[in-house]
Amino acid sequence: MKIFFKQSFILIVSIASAIVIVFYTEKFAQPRFVQNETLKVKDIIARVFPGYNFSDEASVQLDTKKVRYWPGITDTDGMQKKLFVFMSVIPGYYYNLKLIAGIDEENRITGICLLINPGDLSSCADNRDAIGNTPDMWIVKERGVPDRGLSDPEFLAQFKRIDYKKAIRIEITGSGKRFPEGGTTALNLINTYRENISAVKIIAGDLKDFLNAVSVIMSTSQENAMEVK
């Protein structure tokens, strides 16, 4: 019996020590995680939505949840245009899928970026329609691992056809190649994620929340402007 208690004691002490070490390491490293995450997100946002100056992260409270966003502004020919970039995280077994979407003042989705962490395989697309070019055309801007500039052909091969919204199309360009999967819908990108069926629903829901959030932001800013007057 004494041996049993001794063994149990040693085992408990070992596991407790491991938990304490991991807990304090995580606590120590947490600011760096947040800093890395912020830099990465800002870098991605700046690349997906070039020409905009983005302010710090803000949030808006909807009926059911809080939504994070980065307000951006651009000045072209004396005309100021606003853009709101939203981000949501869909946790997976090992990889997290991040959805980053830009929505303009007129409630149009101008760009989508899907980022798979860790590993940061990404796929980004912007909408020429919102920029004022070919209607209903989405351009995939980058794929692969952004930090090292590696491309991953298998990543693209995973794209499958899901008709979420036929009005949104993607023309796949880049590196002088035109891939046979060109013309798939913007939200087909989510097939890069293993749990694609549930991800489709979640992303579709998130995009609707983002659009609602822009309406809330715009109405709030108009109310504020009225009060100032």
User: Smallest distance from the beta carbon of 19 to another protein, in angstroms?
Assistant: 9
Pairing of strands 137-144, 169-172: parallel
User: Smallest distance from the beta carbon of 12 to another protein, in angstroms?
Assistant: 10
User: Which of residues 105 and 120 has its CB atom nearest to another protein in the complex?
Assistant: 120
User: Which of residues 42 and 82 has its CB atom nearest to another protein in the complex?
Assistant: 42
Is residue 95 within 8 Å of residue 119, measured between CB atoms? yes
Kindly report the CA angle at 223 between 227 and 218, in degrees rounded to 5?
145
User: Smallest distance from the beta carbon of 1 to another protein, in angstroms?
Assistant: 14
User: Smallest distance from the beta carbon of 8 to another protein, in angstroms?
Assistant: 8
Which residues are near another protein by CB under 8 A? 3, 6-7, 10-11, 14-15, 17-18, 21-22, 25-26, 29, 32-33, 36, 40, 94, 117-120, 145, 147-148
Is residue 159 within 8 Å of residue 189, measured between CB atoms? yes
Q: 132 — alpha (psi -120 to 50), left (phi > 0) or beta?
A: left
User: Which of residues 52 and 179 has its CB atom nearest to another protein in the complex?
Assistant: 179
User: Which of residues 98 and 169 has its CB atom nearest to another protein in the complex?
Assistant: 98
Q: Which is nearest to 188 in space by CA: 151, 138, 141?
A: 138
Q: Which is nearest to 127 in space by CA: 119, 118, 137, 117?
A: 137
User: Which of residues 31 and 132 has its CB atom nearest to another protein in the complex?
Assistant: 31
Rg (alpha carbons) of the chain, rounded to whole number: 22
User: Smallest distance from the beta carbon of 192 to another protein, in angstroms?
Assistant: 15
Please count the helices (runs of H) and the strands (runs of E) in the chain: 4, 9
User: Which of residues 32 and 166 has its CB atom nearest to another protein in the complex?
Assistant: 32
Question: What phi, psi does 25 have (nearest 5°)?
Answer: -65, -45
User: Smallest distance from the beta carbon of 38 to another protein, in angstroms?
Assistant: 12
